[in-house]
Structure 1
Amino acid sequence: MRTLFCKPTVFERFDRESFRRRLSDHVRRWGIAYLLLIVAAALFQAHYAFGLNASPSLPQRFFLIHKGELPLRGQYVAFRWPGGGPYPAGVTFVKIIAGMAGDAVTRADREFFVNGMPVGQAKTTSRMGLPLEPGPTGILPAGRYYVRAPHPDSLDSRYRLTGWISDAQIIGRAYALF
């Protein structure tokens, strides 16, 4: 029961018919915009994704991934981690393509080269003190890529754990946003 000096409660002020009318007006005014926004989001998600590089392996942290676009040498690639080591299978990694099919990957001691150009030195242990085995060497076969990052602690193709990535692992080309 309301007294003369009390404000009406939310339930007392609620007018169901007024609410329906306002909702109907809102849907008529903004319904098409909401529908277009949902369609645009679905189309975006079908072709693009966002990637976050949580480690210091690359200078950039946030990437736009164009799904299905195969990157060229020197470009960023987003791929699914195959599993093993500190990461579960399916985690998205972003690295730089350093070697492609037909390129020669060689190693002198722990220094790796692609077509004679240095691409990084493999460490003997990880930052956590775990032993690291050097990655494969030889001619990259079709559908295989040597990936790298400029940081000395990057988990890339210098190590057996990562190895050469395959076409099946590639999500697409990654574009650095910031």
Structure 2
Amino acid sequence: MTDARTLRPYVSADESPPELTPLAVALGIVLSLTFGMVNAYLGLKVGITVSASIPSAVLSMTVLRGVLRRGTVLENNVVHAIASTGESLAAGVIFTVPALMFLELHPSGLQIFLIGALAGILGILLMIPLRHALTIEEHATLPFPEGTACAQVLIAGDRGSATARPVFTG
């Protein structure tokens, strides 16, 4: 693990492995829908959701590296980012819509979809200018434990079966 004060990218700027591929996007969407539905059900049923970051990274490696025998660490990162976003949006919607209903507002299915889509777009647009400040400049003071753990899972999967085995077996 690198020193918290020194940020060294795992993939150097000189390399250009495949990243945003149709397979990565398709798998990300499938996992996003799956984790979104599971979290929506869980959140509405018991009032709590779970993070899909690490499970989506593990499932991405399982499919891309284990089953299909291909895929780069960047493709796995794209899959996990898409899947995590779907899970987060579902959590945002399931906790917001009941509040609207308590206020005697009854949004239609289309309105709920548009609220979720707008929230996702706003999240992306706000994160673009904040990315450098939060993830590069504040790397030493904002460690992002789940993001760091997810990155280590992806790196373990990229390095091969001996390193990845503990991720899958515990």
Query: TM over 0.5, yes or no?
Result: no
Higher strand share goes to which structure?
A: 1
Pick the TM interval, shorter chain: under 0.3
Q: Work out which structure has the larger RCO, using CA pairs closer than 8 Å and 6 or more positions apart in sequence.
A: 2
Larger radius of gyration: 1
Q: TM-score w.r.t. structure 2 length? A: 0.20
Q: TM-score w.r.t. structure 1 length? A: 0.19
